[in-house]
Amino acid sequence: MIPDVKPNSVLYLSGVSVSFDGFKALNSLSIVIEPGELRAIIGPNGAGKTTMMDIITGKTRPDEGEVFFNGNIDLTKKDEADIAQLGIGRKFQKPTVFEGHTVWDNLELALNRRRTVFSTLFYRLSGEDKDRIEEILETVRLTHRRDELAANLSHGQKQWLEIGMLLAQEPKLLLVDEPVAGMTDAETAETAILLKDIAKTRSVVVVEHDMGFIRDLGVKVTCLAEGSVLAEGSIDFVSNDPKVIENYLGR
């Protein structure tokens, strides 16, 4: 008997397919993410990695398959705003911070997004909020740059700030697409540590092509190709799989 993993998982995708003009971007994709899990997703260009995130966040509707969050919440019945509200945060590749505002103000703005119009109208930053911002600054390695304009941060620091802004929304699941592209080696190494820290209190799914970074993460890896799972397991297991070498690593 197949155990029913749905009730205990943060994310449960089963048999998810979606086509664009007859091209199957996802082809019966199944993937399960556990609470507190950090999962790395690799695979060649066009494998469907970003499309998978589009499905999870409600940007794209699957033609077939099941998508459940936190046990029994059917994400295929929710729109993008509902899904964000449920606690799924997504980091796109390009950082979208407010360049003309300080690091601190960016985080404060992100914290405020949670509030209703009414509470924002009568809003003063509480001690609790300040503590939370301090905590996020620590997590994303920006405490020493808190009063700097976001425009003056390095590319890597902007990526971290945006991750911090997502953390302000307290997501249960954070989806991160190619975070280390364009980062320096030192920033890339730091990002691995940072994401591991974040995954202590929530689940994180990270897509990356940088295999050194994936190895640094030291977590379960899923390799996608042609819209489904090609191999899944430790980095050593996956990177020694002949299908993964043929379709991705050996290219």
Residue ranges in contact with ligand ATP by CB under 6 A:
20, 25, 43, 45-51
Smallest distance from the beta carbon of 113 to ligand ATP, in angstroms? 26
Considering CB distances under 5 to 8 angstroms, the limit depending on partner class, which of Mg ion, ligand ATP, none binds residue 13? none
CA gap 250, 76 in Å, rounded: 36
Residue 20 touches which member of ligand ATP, Mg ion, none, C-beta under 5-8 Å by kind: ligand ATP
Q: Which stretch binds Mg ion (CB under 5 A): 9-17, 46-54, 189-197, 219-227?
A: 46-54
Candidate segments 45-53, 66-74, 156-164, 242-250, binder of Mg ion by CB under 5 A: 45-53
Query: Binders of Mg ion among 47-106, rule CB under 5 A?
Result: 49-50
Of 60 and 112, CB closest to ligand ATP: 60
The residue number with the shortest CB distance to Mg ion is 50
In terms of CB distance, is 51 or 106 closer to ligand ATP? 51
Degrees to nearest 5, angle at CA 159 with 157 and 165: 105
Residue 164 or residue 227: which is nearer to ligand ATP going by CB? 227
Residue 251: Cβ within 10 Å count? 8
Q: How far is the CB of 52 from ligand ATP (least distance, A)?
A: 7
**Smallest distance from ligand ATP to CB 165, Å:** 22
Mode of pairing for the β-strands spanning 73-74 and 64-69: antiparallel
What is the smallest separation between the CB atom of 238 and ligand ATP, expressed in angstroms? 16
The Cα diameter of the chain in Å comes to: 60
- CB of residue 60 vs Mg ion: minimum separation in angstroms? 13
Residue whose CB is less far from Mg ion, 50 or 157: 50
Q: Which is nearer to ligand ATP, 62 or 87 (CB)?
A: 62
Residue 157 in the binding site for Mg ion (CB under 5 A): no
Q: How far is the CB of 186 from ligand ATP (least distance, A)?
A: 24
Q: Can you give the binding site for Mg ion, defined by CB under 5 A?
A: 49-50
